[in-house]
Structure 1
Amino acid sequence: MEKSQQEINEIQQKYSKQIEQMRKMLLNMYAVSNIRFWYSCLSNFRKSDDMFKDIMQMDAFATSIIISYGRIFGKGTGTTKLEEKIIPLDLLNIHKEIIDFRHAKYAHHGELSSFERDIEIHYVDSSFIIDPKLEVGVWLGAPKKWAPLFEWLDGYMYDTFQAKLASLTKETGIEWKFPHGPAPSWIK
């Protein structure tokens, strides 16, 4: 049965809270897509002849993953915050590892134990020469134990969104749909 524009507007107004929740979920869904993409890049990384460039790229991929993951579980005004309690027990330690790593390396710069820094000072030819010493722990490739967590999170986001659509369909008597197609090439 067709609806008039006024009826459509009234339905949207009546269910504006649920619609806003879905709108906010979109940022988390995008973050999960980012995580899956960057994890794929890290998983399929191949070394080059430039070791320093390789290390910087791997660190950039890991940084992207960790920051995107942390955003999903952090406070924000434009999105919904997921709670740790939704994580299955068998994946909870991996979740905590990523969140702790985010806090130590990115959110509170310098607290990470695998990030060592120092300077050596040499006096040469009437000048002080600063010799920086920086040692950073990075993953070589993607931590395999992370994959099940990211796969679960992707499914959780999909199922949660679909449940909201089903609820709106039931409450309004009108089918609510979200377009979807095949998974991107980087999702195995």
Structure 2
Amino acid sequence: MPTDLLPTFWEDEEYVYIPEEFFQYLPPEMLKDVSARKLKGLSVLEVVDKDIKNLIRLGNAFPTMISLRYIQYRLANTKFELTSEGMLEQEMLTSVFAITYARLIHGGLGSGVSRDSLPAHLRTSHDYLLEVRNKRFAHNVGHESISSGIAIDFDETRFNVKLNFNMGFHVGGANEWSELVAFLDGLMHEKLHIQLARLKEKTGYDWTFPTGPAPPWADKSAETMDDGTERATDE
């Protein structure tokens, strides 16, 4: 067996974790205790199998939520300069923000978020992000925020073709996007605690989820880099 596939031991502040593959090497008295604990745990899990599946589906959304928070932070705090690089930086961050937002909302494996669960004043931003993702970033089907064309000049000896395009974007992201991300983050944690409380009610055992200090970027409030209005630029 390749060494990178071998089960490993690990520990935290409370426990040492031993892969089941190593149970056979435990002393008999320890093996008996570990096996009994395993059977007890499995018997409880069988009762709440549906709830565990719901917890897994919810867990699938958390990496996307973390990514969305960081992208929004970068978008809101990236210094904008009126250069080709500055505009492309905004385009890059906005595109990945819209695509990640759509992935979180649409979910997959039952982990999505419905439009009706959002506050009414944030639904316009929700609609915009899904539309711009579908028509501009994921597919090139003519979103109103971007347009292109060609100009053809003839000087009697040759034809000169020039590409013109207009690209609109919210510098630093729209003002509502920060609130939208904060709401979704809170909603995800609320769903998690509801699920853990339901598991406790059904099993009689406490169900915990690891927590730790937020990274420095998550503690900083988004800085407003601009008035948030959409502007068009030509190249």
Structure 1 residues without counterparts, runs of 5 or longer: none
Equivalent in 154, 164, 167 of residue 198 of structure 2? 167
Equivalent in 63, 83, 87 of residue 118 of structure 2? 87
Deviation for aligned residue 1:47: 3.5
Distance change >3 Å, CA 160–CA 75, structure 1 → 2: closer
Equivalent in 39, 47, 51 of residue 6 of structure 1? 39
Distance change >3 Å, CA 125–CA 6, structure 1 → 2: farther
Deviation for aligned residue 1:122: 4.2
Cα deviation digits, residues 8-36 of structure 1 (max 9, x gap) = 12222332222222222223222221111
Task: Tell me the residue number matched to 1:145.
Answer: 176
Task: Tell me the residue number matched to 1:57.
Answer: 89
Superposition CA RMSD, Å: 2.3
Matched, 1:74 2:135: no
Looking at structure 2, the residues matched to 127 and 12 of structure 1 have their Cα atoms a distance apart, in angstroms, of: 77
Deviation for aligned residue 1:107: 3.9
Could you tell me the TM-score, scaled by structure 2's length? 0.70
Matched, 1:21 2:58: no
User: Aligned to 2:106, what secondary structure does the other structure show?
Assistant: coil
Distance change >3 Å, CA 174–CA 123, structure 1 → 2: same
Deviation for aligned residue 1:129: 4.4
Q: What amino acid sits opposite 2:85 in the alignment?
A: K
Deviation for aligned residue 1:137: 0.8
Deviates more, 1:123-132 or 1:150-159: 123-132
User: Aligned to 2:169, what secondary structure does the other structure show?
Assistant: coil
Looking at structure 2, the residues matched to 154 and 74 of structure 1 have their Cα atoms a distance apart, in angstroms, of: 15
Identity of aligned residues (%): 22
Q: Which runs of 4+ in 1 moved over 3 A?
A: 121-130
Distance change >3 Å, CA 134–CA 41, structure 1 → 2: same
CA contact (8 A) 1:101 1:112 kept: yes
Deviation for aligned residue 1:167: 0.7
CA contact (8 A) 2:122 2:180 kept: yes
Looking at structure 2, the residues matched to 124 and 22 of structure 1 have their Cα atoms a distance apart, in angstroms, of: 68
CA contact (8 A) 1:121 1:131 kept: yes
CA contact (8 A) 2:122 2:176 kept: no
Q: What amino acid sits opposite 1:46 in the alignment?
A: K
Equivalent in 187, 190, 193 of residue 156 of structure 1? 187
Equivalent in 133, 139, 143 of residue 164 of structure 2? 133
Structure 2 residues without counterparts, runs of 5 or longer: 1-33, 221-235
Distance change >3 Å, CA 133–CA 32, structure 1 → 2: same
